[in-house]
Structure formats: C-alpha cells, structure tokens
Amino acid sequence: MAGFDNLTKYSPSTGSGSPNVWGVYEAATGSIQYIVACPDTKKAVVIDAVLNFDTKSASTTTRSAEYLLGLIDQNGLTLERILDTHPHADHVMASHWLKQKTGCPNAIGAKTRNIAAMWRDFYNLPNGLNCDDCFDAMFEHGDTFEVGNLTFSVILSAGHTMASISYLVGDAGFIHDTLMVPDCGSSRADFPGGSTEDLWNSIQAILALPDDTRLFIGHDYGKGERTEPMWEATVAEHKAHNAHVGNGTPKADFIRTREERDATLALPDRMLHALQMNLCAGALPEAEADGQSYLKIPLNRF
C-alpha cells in the first residue's frame, strides 16, 4: 500500500515468556519486517528484513534495514540474531548486509538447500548458490534457541515454498507467507517446489495453536476499504474470519480456491532478481573484473 513506508506498529508483551514485537511495513513490496525482543533483557532478533531493490535501475539501498537498526537503538535493544523464514520471491533479504553491519549471526530453514539445488539449474549456476556458506544456522523442524529469557521454536511451514519455517515464541507466531490478514485469506503456493496441500497442512498446524496466539504475517497488499496495512491477528480471529480457511472451510474447498487464484497470478516482479541473491542471504553476486556485480536472468523459463 503506497504511502506507508516504514509504518511501525508495536505489539507489547502479554506476560512471562511473551515478546515485545515491532512490525515495520515496506511499501514497495508490501512486506512486514519484525523486531522481536525480550522484555526483561532487551535482547532482540529481526525477522525478514528487507534490502530495498529498484527493479527499473537494478539498484539496492539499505534504507529499510537502517531504519530497523535505528528502531533497535531507540528502544535500547541489543540485536542477537538475524532471521528469515524462507528465501523470499518478492523482496531481497537484508540478512547479509545486517550481518556485515552488526556481526550478528543469521539463519534460515534447512530445506533452503533444496530450493538452492533446484534454482542452480534455473540460473545455470552449477557451482553457485551455496547457502551453507551464507547462513550461520540452517534450522530444522523442532529446533529451539534462546534470546534473553525467550525461547524460540522452529516449525516447518511448507507450502508457499518447500523451505518455509515459522518462529514460535511465547504467545507470538511469525508465520510468513502462509496466512494473510483474515480479509485476504492465504498466500500463494504455485512457485517451484510449492504445494497447496502442504500449505493447507501448515495452516492447520498454525490454527491448532492456542486461540490467543498473536500471528504475524509476511505481507499485506491492502484490500477493500482498509486505509492502512495490517499484519497481526489472533488464531481465534483467523479461525472465525479468514477468507480462505475460516469458519471450518473444508480442505477440498481451500485447495480449489487457492489453485484457482494462483492460476491467475503473474510472477512477482522481483522474483528472478531476488532469488539469486536471497539463496545467498541477500548478498550481491561476486563482483567481476570491472568491480560490478551482475545477475543472471533465465529467459523463457517461466
């Protein structure tokens, strides 16, 4: 939604083990970036930070990531980790830049290796996209880690991509491109390696969380009469009102609706640019002899 770049909303901790959450909107891609902090120790992580990318000029800036660092500083927080939920197709990740800037370790899901193997063929980079060299941790389903007094759990939430993971911490779930806000339903599952059935199963696991769980999504592109983006709703709100899975929607109806919708969607305009970088944590390709970095864009493959 235009005009809302860096719109920030604060969702406070609800008690012991519950994080403080800041959501920051990146208008060009409809992406929401998160700062998640322990109220006791002020230790924090960022989730799904954006490296700004102009498709017309093929230029990058660090405006959004710098804003996140400023917000961390303003609130007296200490950044501990840089997290992503999946290799994004719609925006370039700021993971690499933030790691260089702060020295903090970065992480993503382990099945990102499977996506990299597939896209090496699409890009004809048989020796490239070595994601293990670009991330300090590759999380498996069931992994946990501590940030201050908070315990984060990792669950595989495949469907949108085969590698998508969610981060659960206290009463908060960062569920990326599974659900949208209730009036928009769910996210697409038609990218290479995606699966509508897997997406359904992932959503059911999310909706099995306690009703008061705060669910934080990856995108809002705006809909209907809403005047500004949204990204937080509870499990109970999704179960009651989500346009694709609310009110007891049967699996067959969800799959039909999702696949019919996906058949009408074009590729995101940054996808072929972004994935070549995002499988390497958002790092630009290695500079060539002239000191410039270059992307490879496959022609007539999609």
pLDDT (tens digit per residue) in 15-26: 999 999 999 999
Question: Are the C-beta atoms of 203 and 185 separated by less than 8 Å?
Answer: no
Angle, vertex CA 25, rays to CA 19 and CA 28, nearest 5: 155
Q: What percent of the chain has pLDDT over 90?
A: 96
Length reported for the chain: 302
Query: Quick one: which of 164, 169, 171, 156 has its CA closest to 187?
Result: 164
Residue 275 CA to its chain's centroid (Å)? 13
pLDDT (tens digit per residue) in 121-145: 999 999 999 999 999 999 999 999 9
The predicted structure's pLDDT at residue 226: 83
Question: If you average pLDDT over residues 162-174, what whole number do you get?
Answer: 98
pTM for the predicted model, two decimal places: 0.97
Question: If you average pLDDT over residues 101-121, what whole number do you get?
Answer: 97
Query: Quick one: which of 273, 218, 302, 215 has its CA closest to 29?
Result: 218
The CATH number, out of the four listed (3.30.465.10, 3.40.50.1240, 3.60.15.10, 1.10.3720.10), of the domain defined by the range 8-278: 3.60.15.10
Q: In whole angstroms, what is the distance from residue 28 CA to residue 32 CA?
A: 11
Ordered by start, the domain boundaries in the chain are: 8-278
pLDDT (tens digit per residue) in 178-205: 999 999 999 999 999 999 999 999 999 9
Given its phi and psi angles, is residue 224 left (phi above 0), alpha (psi -120 to 50 degrees) or beta?
left
